[in-house]
Amino acid sequence: MKSVIVAMTAAVALMGVSSVATAGAFSTAPCKACHAVGKDVVGPDWARVAKAYGSADELAKVFKGGFKVEDRKIASSEPKFKAQAALMTGQYNTLIKGHEDEAAKALFDAVKAGKI
């Protein structure tokens, strides 16, 4: 499964996607392999995530707290995403950890723009 995620992330990067949200050094480009705005993919719809947390600061708190499943408002309550928790934690460790504030801001900026 990890090789599939790596391949999907590489494919997105190779597409030269220019419509990505960024905040500081964080870019949402790799996130497009599993997320979208307006529909659930492998991970939940980012508009739903933004609505669940209400602000980038609230989402950043969850990231800074170690992204524990019980703190995730969608993954903790929906079996489809709870089953993906280990995959989501791996992506957190690879892509978000160390960039918590920037990642949360980029997610909210993407939702505001209507696309990742």
Give the mean pLDDT of 3-18.
44
Distance CA 90, CA 51 (A): 23
Distance CA 98, CA 29 (A): 17
Q: Domains (ranges, CATH) in the chain?
A: 2-113 (1.10.760.10)
pLDDT digits (tens, 9 = 90+) for 49-60: 999 999 999 999
Select from 112, 115, 70 the least CA-distant residue to 89: 70
Q: What is the pTM of this model?
A: 0.78
